Structure 1
């Protein structure tokens, strides 16, 4: 303060680095604050002088003393979590866990982890240093190698700053429960054959359970020429794949076998089939061995008869048919067959023919065939129409259990009652007698088997008696 008169313009200063004055100057009355910075100072006593001066005034001084004593430090640390509990499965992946150590003391702290546990492996360093308030993590891996199912335990020790803490450590291993998984012993199948040739040898797919539990599998494919057996099974099994070449032309074919099971990823097996052209030109097969027609002059038109051409060899049979009679007509003149049956219809024209027996030959030829040509004899017998009678003929039924035929007659189309006659299966002709003049008669034939089952009516024929 100004204890005199006039104006007091004062300044304050000191000579110690550890002492700070604020403010350092002022006018008349004022307050100066002295602050101590003890950082870096060792224990001991320090002195300095604060000097206050002003123009025209006597300088004043103030002694300042600082005493620094040695502080008393403390050590301590905490561990979190207080224990480690590892879990896993036998043969499964290893697990890593760690503890966080915090320095709760007032000085720098170094701690070290030690343990006698042979299945515990250090992931980080086992010794860490922390400043006051600092933290560090020590991590370890629990190795399951060579261990069976069960619970394993041990105790680790963390020591530092004269303090020791224990950390209980446990490892619990269980047997892993595996889902079923499809295992296959092959990744693909390949077959080869020729047109009309023998089917290639069957191949197999081995199926196994590559996982756990029960594998209930099914197998399927996506093409008609491939057959699998069996189509299902449990755990291990063998599926046989068989190829049928019937009806296949030369070329490359592809299929996929798919194996599925509940809870498992499906597996597929690609299948390749190569069919080459055959060098065999086929062999002519035909049936029946002959054709026979019979009728009457001026009688009903005769029903057409059929014969079949087949390939009894391999490869493709390219056939042609011809005949040597003007009264005989064929529906087809040529065709090809590998394994299928080709049916040709033969019919006769009675116009202009007199009563008698006529013979013709149907010739079947095939280029390159080992038995070409083949001949089918054809006979036609015509008789004079008998007054009051009607001669009926029909084709033989191909039913394996054929017993015979029934003949029906009516005087109006489609109005048939009881059969006129019942005939054995060896008979394919019938003569209806006692037909009245001036009447038109209608006839149909049926076939019946050993169980009494009867076919539908044949085509209807008619004859007028004059």
Structure 2
């Protein structure tokens, strides 16, 4: 009986092959190709790197007529653009886009489904979201007074991925550290120190730029420079000669801080309009010297005026010529005898 079945099966296959209508026979060239051969999608899988948000697939129509197509995504973070239309003979492009902001940290999988004239093609999509760094810096502005050696700002990472950062600023500002990497949720103090010896007195302003893979920020920096008070006398010697009765000396402050001064002299014939005072930074004060010749012996007299201050000491040499000075008055005559 089994032999009979085998003979009958062989006869059936032979008959079908001769008639050209069996499964192994040639396809009629006038008939359209099967649907699976008429359409194609360029890939069956896409993988998105952490920095990628978009890739493209190619839709192919091998037929002679346009066909409708549509697309859908299996996850809310995945979209296909356009989502459908008419696919002409040849090919067209579709964009597969991921919304990374809506992805939790980790690796995610979904599918993009393409229906080409209702023939389904599926593209597996894998996307990785390692997280995103987010730079912060506080405060946004610092001011260093004349006696402030350094200021501190804090760089922090408010994101969910490591933050690579660097800082740069004016040439007169030292930044320590100037670069680094911060783990998610961590922070680091950064010292800003001005190089005052290289700066002139006054207010200097600049900006510190923070550059990172989590955003760019800026910190406004102002530095006040005030060099120590510095005394200078002008001139350093005066001469009243034989007739002058007044001369002027100028007390100059060449520093960036107030100059407090006082003067001492031990010559009874010399008086000053002021024996102490305070001079503002980079300013001056005139002091009048007055000489009295009466009562002086004939000849030249000299004394040294000493000026002391918080910006150093100065000495002023003062000379006067008493030749021809009026003699002191004669004492009154004695009273007559009783």
Q: What band does the TM-score fall into relative to the shorter chain?
A: 0.3 to 0.5
Q: Which has the higher contact order (CA 8 A, sep 6+)?
A: 2
TM-score of the aligned structures, taking structure 1 as reference length: 0.34
Query: Rg bigger for which structure?
Result: 1
TM-score of the aligned structures, taking structure 2 as reference length: 0.45
* Greater fraction helix: 2
